[in-house]
Amino acid sequence: MKHEIAQASTEHHHGSHRHLVDLYREHAESGTVDAIVVPTIRHPSWLGHAIRLAVTLDCPLVTLHSRRWSRPDEAAALLMPTGVAYIVIDVDDTARLNLPDFATSALVKGTPFHRATDLSAKRNTGLLLSRLMGWQRVVFLDDDIVVGGHKEVAAAAALLDDYDAVGMHIGGYPDNSVVCHAHRLTGGDQDSFVGGGALAVETTRRPSFFPNIYNEDWFYLLGETSLRRLAVTGMVTQRAYNPFDRPVRARDQELGDVLAEGVYWLLDGDGASWEAATRPVHWTGFLARRRAFIEHVLRRVRRRPGSTDRTAMEESLLAALGRLKLITPDFCVSYLRAWKADRHRWAGHLAGIPQLESGVADAMKWVVRSGAKPLRWWASR
């Protein structure tokens, strides 16, 4: 059984991409953090850890809220202690945000691959606001992530002198897709890669963006044909959740999982280029491997004796397989070409955004499209 699992993992799936990054277990230097950006859909009470980090690091905290339980009027602003600089933004309609019309979004609009989420839009707004405010070293932090200590965040920021992005090791509950959770829980070797949940980025060199797709952070880390300069240091903990509570989760993740894993499969080969991902022949082979991988995990799930979560895991894997049937090599190529065009579109968009010296009020005017209704926001004085 162990040999069977190992063979399937090697032939059809790469359980780790950690060799693609430089690892720093300890880093003595301390860098300045210009801002912490937290996209959130949860109640403002979840912001406590991020608030404490911002206080200790003496940097602004930007929180971007949506959904009714995330934004009870000024509750988030009222949580902020005296002395902390903050910007609380109510992102009630992403269409009003001053973001480009991405080709990647247009490609999936009106298809089963469309995702009605606003995480990417919030992160891109964080990058836009960084341009307006002149922030060069920004830390993205999800509200369900707890950082080991402020010194680890400062160490990550220091590495941005040499790297485009610096992630932190994710401990606690693993940061994986639903399919990869099932793989790990049935005996497969499965690591966690760098993610946007705890990511320090340098905003002025080689600008990148977050496409509206699962694994959007993996795409942020890509350059034109290779991985951007990336390091990992420190430790964070992700709060536990049940990845199998809704089969729709696995279904909605599948396209992003396929595209990201398919690109990083090529990087794993020689670490140099993923240019082959713009050709259908690569995806013909990879989609076959992906199907074989999920089917193998599904067989292992069905052999689990007396498991209370077996049915939920099976339903999730079947949902992923159903979505996989709709993904074609030509669509994968079209998406990667659209993504390349969007990288240039984003760089051009940022080039037209000024760096302001007049404060948050003027910056917030630029956060929305020209002529659009302003967003609600609160900021420290």
**Per-domain boundaries in the chain:** 2-357
Residues 6+ apart with CB under 8 A from 161: 31
- Note the pLDDT of residue 73: 56
- Note the pLDDT of residue 98: 98
- Specify burial of residue 96 (Cβ count, 10 A radius: 0-12, 13-18, 19+): middle
pLDDT (average), residues 236-254: 93
Instruction: Quickly state the pLDDT bin for 149 (edges 50, 70, 90).
Output: confident
Res 379 pLDDT > 80: yes
Res 67 pLDDT > 90: no
Query: Which tens digits make up the pLDDT trace of 125-147?
Result: 999 999 999 999 999 999 999 88
Res 190 pLDDT > 80: yes
Dihedral, CA of residue 61, residue 66, residue 69 and residue 73, to nearest 10: 70
Compute the distance between CA of residue 146 and CA of residue 158 in angstroms, rounded to an integer. 20
Residues 6+ apart with CB under 8 A from 228: 164, 165, 206, 208, 221, 222
- Specify burial of residue 151 (Cβ count, 10 A radius: 0-12, 13-18, 19+): middle
Residues 6+ apart with CB under 8 A from 247: 312, 315, 316, 318, 319
Instruction: Quickly state the pLDDT bin for 24 (edges 50, 70, 90).
Output: confident
Res 6 pLDDT > 60: no
What percentage of the chain exceeds 90 in pLDDT?
Answer: 70
- Note the pLDDT of residue 282: 95
Half-sphere exposure of 321 (CA within 13 A, CB side): 15
Q: Which CATH class is domain 2-357?
A: alpha beta
- Note the pLDDT of residue 307: 63
Please name the residue that has the structure tokens 């795409």. Answer: 219
- Give yes or no for a contact between 345 and 105, defined as CB atoms under 8 angstroms apart: no
Distances (CA, A) of 9 to 4, 181, 297, 371: 9, 13, 10, 52
Compute the distance between CA of residue 14 and CA of residue 223 in angstroms, rounded to an integer. 21
Dihedral, CA of residue 281, residue 298, residue 15 and residue 237, to nearest 10: 130
- Give yes or no for a contact between 70 and 42, defined as CB atoms under 8 angstroms apart: yes
Residue 290, number of CB atoms within 10 A of its CB: 24
Distances (CA, A) of 69 to 41, 46, 64, 85, 143: 7, 11, 13, 23, 14
Res 1 pLDDT > 80: no
Res 247 pLDDT > 70: yes
- Note the pLDDT of residue 71: 58
For the record, the structure tokens of 318 come out as 């079947």
Query: Which tens digits make up the pLDDT trace of 309-358?
Result: 889 999 999 999 999 999 999 999 999 999 999 999 999 999 999 998 77
- Note the pLDDT of residue 305: 73
pLDDT (average), residues 360-370: 95
- Note the pLDDT of residue 279: 94
- Note the pLDDT of residue 321: 98
pLDDT (average), residues 238-252: 93
- The SS3 of residue 139 is strand
Compute the distance between CA of residue 74 and CA of residue 369 in angstroms, rounded to an integer. 24
pTM score above 0.85: yes
